[in-house]
Amino acid sequence: MLQNTLNQLRANVGRVSAAALAIVLGVAFVAATLVFTGTLESSTSRAVAAPELAADLVVGTESESFRRGDAQKVGAVPGVAVSQFRYNDNAETFWNGGSGYSSVFVVPPDPRLQWFSLAEGRLPGAGNEVALDSVAARSAGLGVGGTITAKTLSYDTGEVQTEFRITGLVDTGRTLVTGGSTPSLFAAPAKLEELGLVSVGGIDVLVDEGADAETVRSAIGEAMGPGFSVKTGEQRAKEAADQLGPMSAVINAMLLPFSAIALFVAGFVIVNTFSVLFAQRSRQYALLRCVGASRSQIRGSALLEALIIGAVASVAGTAFGVFVAALVGWPLGLTKSAVDFGSLGITALSLLVPPVVGVLVTLLAALAPAGRATRVSPLAALRPVVEASVARRMGRVRLVFALVLSVIGLALLVAGAFGGSLAMAVPGALLAAIGVLLWTPSLIPAVATLFGGLFRFAGPTGVLATGNAVRNPYRAASTSTALMIGVGLIVTLLTGTATAQETATARVDERFPVDAMVTSETGALPPEVVQKARNLDGVAAAMELRAADVEIDYSSHRVLGADPAKFRDIARHGGGVLKPGTALMNPTDLEYSDVKAGEQLRIPARDGGTVPVRLVASDLAQDDQIVLAESDLAKIAPDAQVSAVWLRADDSVDTKVFVDDLSGFYTGSGGGSVQLSGAAPMRAQIGTVLDIMLSVVTGLLGVAVIIAVVGIANTLGLSVLERGRESALLRALGLTRGQLRGTLAFEAVLLALVGALLGAVLGVLFAWAGATALFGQLGFESSFHVPFGRLLLVLGCAVLAGVLASVLPARRAARAAPAEALSDE
């Protein structure tokens, strides 16, 4: 039987190639995921360990705080060569083109403690000089000779803005992912102490050459006393690396489910392949039974064949996955923009798990086909077979069970949606999905027959394509179901993301009725800034607001004065509430105020008197703000200056384009002294985050869709082999090669279209239920939105994929001459 199995493998390499390709793709996904996360973990571990490994010993704190003289105290311990405070702090930074919060590190005077390497320029010395980490600096467009401004706050100097000259760039081993996209600052100890950036992360210690590190460690511990720890650099590096363990586990938990989906879809291709392949050998298996082979031996032979195919394809898939990880990581390694792929994180886990998973999936998928192939009796199987028979009808028990599951799942799904309960909606979606999957052998042929009428315009070609597509319900169901799963998940994400964006946008517009607010934090807005804001593209209306700072009941507030008529034009809603004698205050501030909405508030004026106003709760006032009519502000502070410009965007303008123009204006208008806020920047940020997430997830699910398309090509290819005599007869009756190729193309398009349409319908249903339940549980009213444009694009891609999947099988079917094919047994 072993020799027979090997002979079958050699003779049927072409027929199992699609199943092998599906296994390769699914296993490659698993391998690439494990290699990627392993590389991320190892590169991040190296980055966080670098500061620790530069020192022989590190003094840390457990319950006590470091004092100014502690570094000198450690330095006085015998055997200590160098002791240096490790300053780790943060500062708000601004540069031409951006802003953010930067980590601030000290440049150790002793080169041996410098855990970074100089990439360009020189290290900073005295004065306002800094070095930046090279990866983030280049990403931000900063280089040697440029400037960056840091805003610091200390008890001694208050708030200070310092402009630094960039003298060098350093390599830290960190990337934009592990180190952040805002450049880190490296400065001399004296400068950090001057600015108050002296948050001490430890004391780095170098031991004298020849001194015993353990003895020195004990002596430092005695000198520092309880509440402090003294550990070696290796110990601290291991602790830092151990803290990253959950990060790689989280990434694996996020990516591996997509690998599971790809393998699940690959299982349909494998089942289809072995079902047809084993059914085609029914006469051969019967003959083996006649000469003494038992059913278990035949089943074992079939499973051994699947094992060999799975093993070879899984090994190839693992190698391909490692190659893909290296190929994708190569440009990232050059730029260090995301992950440092200087050395791939290939572990025993990443090399052993993918092949084992691939083999198990292949064997599980082959169990049912192998069992069916050995059930037929020897004599019954010796009758001539024109086409392999693979369970043409769906059993009544399965149909009833599928319908019951679908109904129960749908009921839970709807109840969870309207009741705002994910605990009901998620199980309902799973039950409904399982029910539909069990029901597909009846559902998909019925839908295919319905849509087959669309191809009647093609004449006999379209009729033949429809008949061939539904000839074997299980094969059609298995082929279309694979694509249905992939498209369904993508459509669920597309619709769910669109709904989340619409819902979030509605909440933002409700919470922030003004599209954009440009506000000075330090005083009056320069007239040129006001004029630039008014002249921005896409601005439908603009309004200047004057401001004064007042103190009410020991609490500071900024009072803004606005023109009530212009206020109505600027605000998306609620603008009509502003009138002379009223004051708008944020609802959150009102909760903690002694004066409530509807009551009178007396605001102190510069002349010593007070101005009475009636409070109104409104989201148009931000935190610690009071918005008045400009006539009332004139009574409080006659000399108030323009400190803010509020803008309303034209409804026809794209939010992201408007915000890009606004951000460019903002970064060139005073850096840290100007604050940008409002609904438009938040809407754009939400849209950007959701778009990135959607692109990543769609790309991951794209692997499953590719495997499904391979399955369509596989079904057509096996059908071509089965229908050789039938195709030859059609050719003899006058069907041209082009018409025969068209038949296969229409058949592929029909299977793809049915799978994609069913997936789209289920995807929209699940997205509606999931979004409605989620937002209902959070107490929000969801704004359900179906992105019809993107759905049509998905369906179009599915149809195109069907056409492409038919190319090779159609060429093979049309290659043989009619007489040659008719003579082939």
Same domain, 794 and 703: yes
Please check whether residues 803 and 758 belong to one and the same domain: yes
The whole-chain average pLDDT of the chain stands at: 82
The pair of three-digit structure tokens given for residue 291, joined into one six-digit string? 């000469």
Q: Is the confidence at residue 291, as pLDDT, over 80? A: no
DSSP state for residue 455 in the 8-state scheme? G
* pLDDT above 90: residue 411: yes
Separation of alpha carbons 90 and 675, rounded Å: 19
Helix ranges, 564-638 (H): 564-570, 587-591, 630-636
Mean pLDDT on 429-457: 86
Q: What confidence score (pLDDT) does residue 359 get? A: 94
**Same domain membership, residue 431 and residue 561:** no
Pairwise CA distance, residues 743 & 674, whole Å: 66
Q: Pick 502 or 662 by higher pLDDT.
A: 502
Task: Say whether both 410 and 525 belong to one domain.
Answer: no
The answer to whether 84 and 71 are in contact (CB under 8 A) is: yes
Residue 256 lies in a domain: no
> Does the residue 334 lie in any domain?
yes
CA distances 98 to 83, 176, 534, 620, 665, Å, are 37, 15, 22, 27, 11
| pLDDT tens digits for range 336-389 | 555 555 567 788 888 999 999 999 999 998 888 888 777 766 665 555 554 444
Residue 758 has pLDDT above 90, yes or no: yes
Which string of b and e fits 796-807 if b means at least 16 CB within 10 Å?
ebbeebbeebbe
Contact 115, 54 (CB under 8 A): yes
Q: How many domains does the chain have?
A: 4
Radius of gyration in angstroms for the set of CA atoms belonging to the chain, rounded to a whole number: 35
Answer yes or no: do 731 and 776 share one domain.
Answer: yes
Contact 228/61 with Cβ under 8 angstroms? yes
Q: Phi, psi (5° rounding) for residue 308?
A: -65, -45
Tell me the average pLDDT across 543-559: 84
Region of 210 (left: φ > 0; alpha: ψ -120 to 50; beta: rest) is left
Closest alpha carbon to 151 in 79, 85, 93: 93
Task: Identify the pLDDT of residue 386.
Answer: 45
Residue with tokens 């899984």: 314
Find the length of the chain.
825
Residues 251-258: contacts with CB under 8 Å, at least 24 apart: 251/36, 251/37, 251/40, 252/33, 252/34, 252/37, 255/33, 255/36, 255/37, 255/700, 256/30, 256/33, 258/29, 258/33, 258/697, 258/700, 258/701, 258/703, 258/704
- Yes or no: say if 772 and 818 are a contact pair by the CB < 8 Å rule: no
Instruction: Kindly state whether residue 50 falls inside one of the protein's structural domains.
Output: no
- DSSP class of 184: P
Q: Hey, CA dihedral for 26, 31, 34, 36, is it positive or negative? A: negative
Whether residue 23 is found in the same domain as residue 134: no
Residues 586 and 656 grouped into a single domain: yes
Greatest pairwise CA separation for the chain in angstroms: 115
**Residue 670 shares a structural domain with residue 577:** yes
Gap between the Cα atoms of 37 and 45, Å rounded:
12
540 and 604 belong to one structural domain: yes
pTM above 0.85, yes or no: no
pLDDT band at 765 (very low <50, low <70, confident <90, very high): very high
Residue 115: give the domain boundaries. Answer: 65-225
Which residues make Cβ contacts (< 8 Å) with residue 507, sequence separation at least 6? Answer: 780
> Domain check: are 696 and 816 in the same one?
yes
Q: How far apart are CA 744 and CA 726, in angstroms?
A: 13
Residues of the chain with pLDDT > 70, as a percent, come to 87
> Are the beta carbons of 730 and 740 closer than 8 angstroms?
yes
Confidence label for 798 from pLDDT (cuts 50, 70 and 90)? confident
Q: Would you say residue 636 lies in a domain?
A: yes
Task: Specify the long-range contacts of residues 232-235, CB closer than 8 Å, at least 24 apart.
Answer: 232/56, 232/57, 232/58, 233/52, 233/53, 233/54, 233/55, 233/56, 233/57, 233/58, 234/52, 234/53
Distance CA 354, CA 336 (A): 27
Q: For residue 482, which of 701, 787, 807, 767 has the smallest C-alpha distance?
A: 701
Of the ranges 421-425, 657-661, 665-669, the best mean pLDDT one? 421-425
For residue 586, give the DSSP letter: -
> Which distant-in-sequence residues (6+ apart) come within 8 Å of 104 by Cβ?
87, 88, 89, 90, 91, 150, 184, 185, 186, 187, 192, 197
CATH number of domain containing 654: 2.40.40.20
Residue 391, pLDDT > 50, answer no
Contact 542, 534 (CB under 8 A): yes
| pLDDT per residue as tens digits for the range 303-329 | 888 899 999 999 999 999 998 888 876
- Going by C-alpha positions, the residue among 549, 569, 572 that lies closest to residue 560 is 549
**DSSP structure string for 633-686:** HHHH-TT-EEEEEEEEE-TTS-HHHHHHHHHHHHHTTTGGGEEEESHHHHHHHH
User: CA–CA separation, 795 vs 684, rounded Å?
Assistant: 28
Confidence at residue 596, expressed as pLDDT on a 0 to 100 scale: 83
Tell me if 40 sits within 8 A of 328, measured CB to CB.
no
Residues 502 and 574 in one domain: no
- Mean per-residue pLDDT, 423-431: 89
Task: Kindly tell me if the per-residue pLDDT of 191 is higher than 90.
Answer: no
Residue 538 lies in a domain: yes
Q: Two tokens at 208?
A: 């004298």
CB 589 within 8 A of CB 531: no
Q: Is residue 51 part of a domain?
A: no
Give, in degrees to the nearest 5, the angle at Cα 192 between 187 and 193: 150
Question: Exposed (0-12), middle (13-18) or buried (19+): which is 337, by Cβ within 10 Å?
Answer: middle
**Residue 261, in any domain of the structure:** no
Confidence of residue 704 (pLDDT cuts 50, 70, 90): confident
Residue 590 tokens read as 């009102």
| Domain boundary, last residue among 644, 676, 708 | 676
What angle, rounded to 10 degrees, do the helices at 737-777 and 460-470 form?
Answer: 50
**Predicted pLDDT of residue 558:** 85
Structure tokens given for 727: 């195709």
340 plus 471 within the same structural domain: no
Last residue of a domain, one of 648, 676, 704: 676
Which comes out higher in pLDDT, residue 813 or 465? 465
CA–CA separation, 83 vs 78, rounded Å?
A: 12
Backbone angles phi, psi at 460, to 5 degrees: -55, -30
Question: Phi/psi at 560 (nearest 5 deg)?
Answer: -110, 140
**Distance from C-alpha of 406 to C-alpha of 437, rounded to nearest angstrom:** 9
CA distances from 517 to 570, 588, 680, 681 (A): 11, 20, 9, 10
Q: What would the two tokens of residue 236 be?
A: 């601290």
C-alpha 661/C-alpha 647 separation (Å) is 13
Boundary of a domain, candidates 676, 694, 714: 676
Position 240 in a domain: no
| pLDDT at residue 131 greater than cutoff 90 | yes
Phi, psi of 10 (to 5 degrees): -65, -35
